[in-house]
Amino acid sequence: MSTEATIRNYILENYLFTDDQSALNSTDSFLDKGILDSTGILEVIYFLEDEFGIKVEDTEMVPENLDSVDNIVSFIAKKRQ
Amino acid sequence: MQALAERYEAEIINFDRDKEVDRICETMREVMRTKLRRRGVVVAVSGGIDSSVSAALAVKAFGAKKAFFIQLPEVDSAEDTQSRGRQLIEHLGVDHTTHNIAATLDAIGCYRARDEAIVKTFPEYGDGWKNKIVIKGGLDGQVNHFMLVVQDPQGQQHEKRLDLREYLQIVAATNYKQRIRKTIEYYHADRLNYAVVGTPNRLEYDQGFFVKNGDGSADLKPIAHLYKTQVYALARHLGLPESICNATPTTDTYSLPQGQDEFYFALPYQEMDKALWARNIGASASELAAMLGITEEQAKFVLQDIDNKRKTTHYLHAKPYLIEAMPELGL
């Protein structure tokens, strides 16, 4: 599964309780749309560290890296470089 | 910019204390008379400023004979907060009891569950060590996250970021403290046919700094509309003991001293009051920055943090959701 699909499915399954792909756009802001709150973002970080074997540093815990599917995909790509 | 500080001074600092005390007491009596229909009030007295002012207001509203105070210490309660609680009880002359909840917390597994999560982060943690949780991120535009600070028996402090599972387990375990306390408050309320007074100030209430079904549970919350600065002002106005008027707000929940601003709020309460008030009147980040002497970017993050906490903790305020309305119950 692609990084994008892994993240998208995680959000759909755990926070939107659906497998309807149209329920989430890749650019949707998790915080602005009320999909995740700050505890939810911490859960996503935990998931990313576990799933992709990366370590998210304190300074990287900003919305630009974590607040949408697209943002996370770019962030993971950057971490893997 | 100056106008904002002046307005804060006029509206929040220089509020009419006599009028406010009268308004609160009259509303408390009205609520008891028409909604709660109980004969008096139970107040858990922690020794902190909020419960002290709430207790004093309850006595003013109903009289000392219609109040019952409870002290509910456990092993991590600081001696000075317990001593301030005793001073308040003596000062107000109210019937009271002390129920140490350590054995109950031990039996239910509070300390064991907490320590299990701490040991996962610091394997050397054990007897003679102390702990607290510190929040980070809100002032820097980062997602709020939590550090575990432990102190070894030699007094050396160590700090690590908490993994989510351990953070949630430590918070869940320590929340037993507030929930057990509330159970005991309601035991006495039921026994006496009294109502329970909840003691959050506006910052705590607005920002969700309470435990659902723990300290968040009550029949009446007389100071939930008052900024913390105003609660301190009322403590002096009501003539409470000097030690209470000068007390620094702490959580009194972890074994290391922990300021509320370390655990939850982005700034100390004096500044958080101003930030929350600025948010409520729709002031801009630049106006808030000038008022607090911080950068505009930091002010923006503080305002965002206020909104985030409102969103994250909204469910703590909410009643259970029903599948359909039940108008016959007024729900």
**What ipTM did this prediction achieve?**
0.87
Q: Which residues of A touch B167 (CB under 8 A)?
A: 42
pLDDT tens digits along B153-200? 999 999 999 999 999 999 999 999 999 999 999 999 999 999 999 999
Q: How many CB atoms lie within 10 A of CB B253?
A: 18
Which residue segment(s) compose the domain that A34 sits in?
A: 3-80
User: In this structure, what CATH number is given to the domain that contains residue A10?
Assistant: 1.10.1200.10
Q: Which residues of B touch A61 (CB under 8 A)?
A: 137, 142-143, 145
Residue from the list A38, A58, A66 with its beta carbon closest to the beta carbon of B136: A58
- Reported as type and span, the H/E element at residue A8 is helix A3-11
Which residue segment(s) compose the domain that B83 sits in?
A: 2-108+168-315
Residue B260 has pLDDT above 80, yes or no: no
Residue from the list B145, B164, B312 with its beta carbon closest to the beta carbon of A58: B145
Distance from CA of A47 to the nearest CA of B (A): 10
Q: Which residues of B touch A66 (CB under 8 A)?
A: 143
**Per-residue model confidence (pLDDT) at position B140:** 78
Contact (CB<8Å) A42/B312? no
Contacts of B277 (CB under 8 A, 6+ apart): B8, B11, B12, B227
Residue from the list A37, A46, A61 with its beta carbon closest to the beta carbon of B137: A61
Residue B19 has pLDDT above 90, yes or no: yes
- The total number of structural domains that make up chain B: 1
Alpha helices in chain B (DSSP H): 2-8, 17-31, 49-62, 79-92, 102-108, 110-121, 164-192, 202-207, 228-237, 242-245, 260-263, 269-280, 285-292, 296-317
Residue B24 inside a domain? The answer is yes
How many distinct helices (H) and strands (E) make up chain A?
4, 0
Residue from the list B142, B308, B311 with its beta carbon closest to the beta carbon of A61: B142
Contacts of B274 (CB under 8 A, 6+ apart): B8, B288, B291, B292
- Reported as type and span, the H/E element at residue B78 is none
Residue B141 inside a domain? The answer is no
Residue B158 inside a domain? The answer is no
Q: How many CB atoms lie within 10 A of CB B68?
A: 20
- Reported as type and span, the H/E element at residue A69 is helix A69-80
Distance from CA of A19 to the nearest CA of B (A): 23
Q: Residue-wise over B41-56: b if at least 16 C-beta within 10 A, else e?
A: bbbbbbbbbbbbbbbb
**Per-residue model confidence (pLDDT) at position B251:** 74
**Per-residue model confidence (pLDDT) at position B2:** 62
Mean pLDDT of B195-208: 97
Nearest to B40 by CA among B69, B73, B1, B10: B69
Residue B148 inside a domain? The answer is no
User: In this structure, what CATH number is given to the domain that contains residue B22?
Assistant: 3.40.50.620
Residue B95 has pLDDT above 70, yes or no: yes
Distance from CA of B303 to the nearest CA of A (A): 15
Residue B136 inside a domain? The answer is no
- The total number of structural domains that make up chain A: 1
- Taking CA–CA distances from B311, the nearest residue in chain A reads A37
Distance from CA of B142 to the nearest CA of A (A): 5
Contacts of B168 (CB under 8 A, 6+ apart): none
